[in-house]
Amino acid sequence: MRERRPSQTASTVALLRALADQGLTDVPGFEDPVAHRLLSRGWSAALALLARRLRSLDPAKRARALARLSAVPLRVMAIDIELERAVELGCRQVACLGAGLDTRAFRMKALSATRFFEIDHPATQAFKRRKAAGLSPLVEQLTYVPVNFERDALAACLSAAGHRPDEPTAWIWEGVVMYLSDDALRSTLRALADASAPGSVLLVNYMEPPASRRGQRVFHLLTWLWSEPLIGLRRREVMLAEVERAGFRVVRDTGAADWARQLGVPFAPSNPAANTRLLVAERPGPGAAPPPVRPPT
């Protein structure tokens, strides 16, 4: 990631959300009217070009293309559903880790009574704040928390920003874990557990390694080409063990195929999003049975 502009991943994800908001998706009901306003001039031009290209395809080809682009809108809607559930259960703080160009504070009316913390690298966050300057948050309070994860202590930064560790928090960890080493994953999970009151909810998006040899070859090629390599693909049993070892209790762990069934989206096993998952965990209260102790992997 270069200074003074967001990561390539953050911009790519915002572009795909903006495409889906224009109806260029097979995920019904998807809306993100803010995403396009957070793109740079170059990425806005790419959005317009790709949208024109998709609309010019015949229906069959467009359907196949949209199916390949469904990963992001599917993931976003799956997380939104779980986030609304966490707020209904009492979380009045929401913290988005590695927020990038996230738009939930500007588009989700269900978060109107929450205090929202966006946590990210200072360079990406500075760009985001400039682009979002003219937008009106829907949340009770929006706080930006710049964190250099290689240098800063997450807990201290959150405390300085006004986060209350004695109040339940809904933690959103979307599109980040797959870029983290095991040490970074574990240290962040420990920090989140320490900052989580009983009743807090952790939403972790992660990716499993590709199952097929062809998928592995494609993955390694993309990792080589992309400037932000996916070094943290983990199998579901590994993620469950890491989350529970930190002090959370896993409630459910679903995959893209599950979200597609829930939302009525056609989904083939060969879909590139097939290895994308969402783990939901809670911070149990005093007296609750502890999660099973699992050896390090």
Q: Which long-range contacts (CB under 8 A, 24 or more apart) does 127-136 make?
A: 127/4, 127/5, 127/6, 127/40, 128/6, 128/38, 128/99, 128/100, 128/101, 131/37, 131/38, 131/39, 131/101, 132/37, 132/38, 132/106, 134/37, 135/34, 135/37, 135/106, 136/106
pLDDT, one tens digit per residue, over 52-110 is 999 999 999 999 999 989 899 999 999 999 999 999 999 999 999 999 999 999 999 99
What is the Cα Rg of the chain in Å?
Answer: 19
Pairwise CA distance, residues 115 & 112, whole Å: 8
Q: Are 247 and 256 in contact (CB under 8 A)?
A: no
Question: Over the stretch 124-169, which tens digit does the pLDDT of each residue have?
Answer: 999 999 999 999 999 999 999 999 877 889 999 999 999 999 999 9
Task: Assess contact for 42 and 77: CB atoms under 8 A.
Answer: no
